[in-house]
Structure 1
Amino acid sequence: MRYEDICVKAIHQLKDDRQLNFAEYSAKLLGNVLRKNGIAQQADIITSVPMHRSKRRKRGYDQAQKLAHFTAAELGIKENYRLLGRTKDTAEQHTLTASERKTHAEEIYFSLPDHADIKGKNVLLFDDVYTTGSTLNVCSGLLKNMGAKNVFCAAIATTLLDEKHKE
């Protein structure tokens, strides 16, 4: 979906108001797209871009993880959310330019030291909103360095790049 109008409202409700209906609905739509494109049949593990634990405690859950969870249930794919970590930080990605997003993502995401062995596995990586690709690119690189054979990325919404997000 495009990250505009009703989609923006639904994602904000998912993030801030604990409205999981959108995540469940989105999982069905995304599940169909992933099956149609042959990705569902290839994925061995589903994971998500991690939220820092302090923010997760405050919100009650990680919305990208919820999207991944409902999609995993829809597709019957194993989940693992103990692959990647995130350092605590104060900058919100949506406030940064494209080049700032890339640097920021490289600084805050890391492989968990006690992660499961994913060597040779195909990983489906989730985020809620795709803007510049910085977050998914950095996290995909980490998963590949951990041994993943392929990393497929999915997000329920994408922004239209505006002047603020261009280099």
Structure 2
Amino acid sequence: MKAIHQLKDDRQLNFAEYSAKLLGNVLRENGIAQQADIITSVPMHKSKRRKRGYDQAQKLAHFTAMELGIKENYRLLGRTRDTAEQHTLTAAQRKTHAEEIYFSLPDHADIKGKNILLFDDVYTTGSTLNVCSGLLKNMGAKKVFCAAIATTLLD
């Protein structure tokens, strides 16, 4: 977990690069890398990205795209500004929260019939990835595969 906090808060991208290599191997072994047409990520709000200097889920997706040679597109999904941190919410609250803050961008690229590989940094309940996957499917994606480099344990 220390590596995730360093990635999020201390601009330590070595972990993201290392994780992308490991994850790339897993995605190849499971046949997902061969099916994915586009890699994208769960979006961070632009004000938070400006403050932090980057979006860690996007960095993970980028390094994995480089590892696998898959096209990247980070202009598919958007996020409204919000103040709630996901880790402070219950599972039920996470689902409602995710439904309220993520949306498909109106000027997104045509992804009809494409297989999308969607990245997040940490998987907890699946609410964020489920909501974002649903949006991508509604935009025409054929399949959405999800990946994260860490998971948490719920109480």
1:39-66 per-residue CA deviation (whole Å, 9 max, x = no partner) reads 0000000000000000000000000000
1 CA distance for matches of 2:33 and 2:42?
18
Aligned to 2:52: 59
Aligned to 1:165: none
Secondary structure at 2:54's aligned position in 1? Answer: coil
Secondary structure at 1:155's aligned position in 2? Answer: strand
Aligned to 1:141: 134
Cα shift at 1:159: 1.1
Cα shift at 1:160: 1.8
2 CA distance for matches of 1:16 and 1:98?
24
2 CA distance for matches of 1:45 and 1:126?
11
Aligned to 1:24: 17
Q: What are the ranges of 5 or more consecutive residues in structure 1 without an aligned counterpart? A: 1-7, 163-167
Cα shift at 1:161: 2.1
Task: Note the aligned Cα RMSD (angstroms).
Answer: 0.4
Equivalences for 1:53-92 in 2 at 5 Å? 53-92=46-85
In the comparison of the two structures, how many residue pairs are matched? 155
1:92-141 per-residue CA deviation (whole Å, 9 max, x = no partner) reads 00100000000000000000000000000000000000000000000000
The answer as to 2:77 corresponding to 1:113 is no
2 CA distance for matches of 1:134 and 1:65?
18
Q: What TM-score comes out, normalization by structure 2 length?
A: 0.99
Q: What are the ranges of 5 or more consecutive residues in structure 2 without an aligned counterpart? A: none
Secondary structure at 1:13's aligned position in 2? Answer: helix
Cα shift at 1:16: 0.7
Secondary structure at 1:40's aligned position in 2? Answer: helix
Q: What TM-score comes out, normalization by structure 1 length?
A: 0.92
1 CA distance for matches of 2:140 and 2:154?
32
1 CA distance for matches of 2:86 and 2:4?
15
2 CA distance for matches of 1:14 and 1:160?
19
Secondary structure at 1:125's aligned position in 2? Answer: strand
Secondary structure at 1:88's aligned position in 2? Answer: coil
1 CA distance for matches of 2:103 and 2:92?
19
1 CA distance for matches of 2:7 and 2:60?
10
Secondary structure at 2:145's aligned position in 1? Answer: strand
Choose from 11, 14, 27 the match for 1:34: 27
1:7-53 per-residue CA deviation (whole Å, 9 max, x = no partner) reads x1101111111000000000000000000000000000000000000
* % same residue: 94
